[in-house]
Amino acid sequence: METKTFTVPNISCGHCVRSIQNELGELQGVESVKGDAENKTITIVWSSPATESEIRNIMQSINYPAS
């Protein structure tokens, strides 16, 4: 199991966080997605078959790229 906190400059509100949570929550292997709109961060816990690359690609595709 891996845990990583991503900085996401495009986050501006709770709706942004929920959008990311909804999209990543559907990815097989993602255990939890927690966001902080004030600090513009998303913390994700995942295991196989999910990968960091796949998570980053999804975030990019929904216009919330991780830096």
pLDDT tens, residue by residue, 3-61:
999 999 999 999 999 999 999 999 999 999 999 999 999 999 999 999 999 999 999 99
Length of the chain equals: 67
pLDDT of residue 25: 95
Q: 2-61 maps to which CATH number?
A: 3.30.70.100
pLDDT of residue 61: 97
Decide if 1 contacts 39 (C-beta within 8 A): no
In sequence order, the 6+-apart residues with CB closer than 8 A to the CB of 32 are 43, 44, 45
pLDDT of residue 63: 96
> For 56, phi and psi rounded to 5 degrees?
-60, -40
pLDDT of residue 49: 97
pLDDT of residue 51: 97
Mean pLDDT of the chain: 96
